[in-house]
Structure formats: C-alpha cells, structure tokens
Amino acid sequence: MRVIAIKTLKAFYEQPAYQEAEQPLKTWYAEAKHATWRTPVDIKEKFSTMSILADNRVVFNIGGNKYRLVVKIHYNTGIVYIRFVGTHKQYDQIDEENI
C-alpha cells in the first residue's frame, strides 16, 4: 500500500509528549507499506483490534490502545490516507467519519 502522508505520523511522534508512539507507529507503517489490502477483512487478519467505519475508514489501535490512527483506504488504487493520529482522549473529541 502507498501511505499518504507519513509526515503526519512524524509530526505526532516528534512531539516530546508523544515520543513513545514512535516505534508503534513505525511498526504500523512498515506493515501497511508492505500490505496488499483489498478489503477490510484483509486488514482484520493482521490487526484484529481495528474498527471499520463508513466510507472506507479504519481505526487502528496503536501502542497498546494508547493511541488511535484513523485512515481512509482506497482499496482499488492501494492508497492509504492518514486522516488522524492522536491519543485516545484526542480521538474521542473528533468526528472520525468526517475527518
């Protein structure tokens, strides 16, 4: 898969308060980059705790569920768009289906 935009992940984990998210986010990125997801079921095989939302959006639990990552996936083109990364508390304040 082609992940757009990795800079969003970097901007998050480079903040001093979120440095412990760096390795889990890099691990997720490495998995996503080499994946060939065609359906949400493909993702569920590797990330059993992920949640499927409307409009091809997926929520990943990162770092033992301390962080949340919301992406929008275009399965036909193999592109994953990062829509949000943050703490669980920050995630609770967004509308994940419209970001």
The answer to the question of residue 28 being in a domain is: yes
What CATH number should be reported for the domain holding residue 33? 3.30.2310.20
Starting at the edge strand found earlier in the chain, the sheet holding 79-87 runs 2-4, 79-87, 67-74, 57-62, 51-52
- As for how many domains the chain has, the answer is 1
The answer to the question of residue 10 being in a domain is: yes
What rounded mean pLDDT belongs to the chain? Answer: 93
The answer to the question of residue 99 being in a domain is: no
pLDDT exceeds 90 at position 20: yes
* Residues 75-86: tens digit of each pLDDT: 999 999 999 999
* Residues 36-65: tens digit of each pLDDT: 999 999 998 888 889 999 889 999 999 988
